[in-house]
Amino acid sequence: GTEQGGGSAPLYAGGAPRRLLTVEEVTKLARRTQKFERYRACEADLQEELGRAPKDAELAARLGMPGGAREYRKRLSTCRRAKHNLVQSNLRLVYSVAGRFTNRGLAFQDLVQEGSLGMLRAAELFDPERGIKISTYATWWITQSIRRAIANGARDIRIPVHAQDDLRKMRTVQGQLYRDLGRAPSRVELAASMRVTESKLETLEKVRPLATL
Whole-angstrom distance, CA of residue 66 vs CA of residue 107: 50
pLDDT tens for each residue of 69-82? 999 999 999 999 99
pLDDT score of 37 more than 70: yes
Percent of the chain whose pLDDT exceeds 70: 84
pLDDT score of 191 more than 50: yes
Indicate the burial class of 170 (C-beta count within 10 angstroms; 0-12, 13-18, 19 or more).
buried
Of the listed ranges 121-135, 149-163, 174-188, the least confidently predicted one is 149-163
Full-model pTM: 0.65
The pLDDT assigned to 169 comes to 84
Q: Compute CA 66 distance to the chain's CA centroid, rounded to the nearest angstrom.
A: 30
Q: Would you state the CATH architecture of domain 157-213? A: Orthogonal Bundle (1.10)
With contact defined as beta carbons under 8 Å apart, do 134 and 118 qualify? no
Q: 126-139 burial by CB neighbour count: b if 16+ within 10 A, else e? A: bebeeeeebbebbb
pLDDT tens for each residue of 78-120? 999 999 999 999 999 999 999 999 888 888 888 998 999 999 9
Q: What is the mean pLDDT of residues 191-197?
A: 87
pLDDT category at 26 given cuts 50, 70, 90 is very high
Name residue 163's amino acid.
Answer: A
The residues near 190 (Cβ < 8 Å, ≥ 6 apart) are: 170, 173, 174, 177, 201
**Domain-wise residue ranges, the chain:** 157-213
Q: What is the mean pLDDT of residues 158-169?
A: 70
**What HEC string does 110-157 produce?**
HHHHHHHHHHHHHHHHCCHHHCCCHHHHHHHHHHHHHHHHHHHHCCCC
If we measure between CA atoms, which residue out of 84, 91, 80, 83 comes closest to residue 18?
91
Count Cα atoms within 13 angstroms, Cβ side, for 169: 15
Average pLDDT, the chain: 83
pLDDT category at 24 given cuts 50, 70, 90 is very high
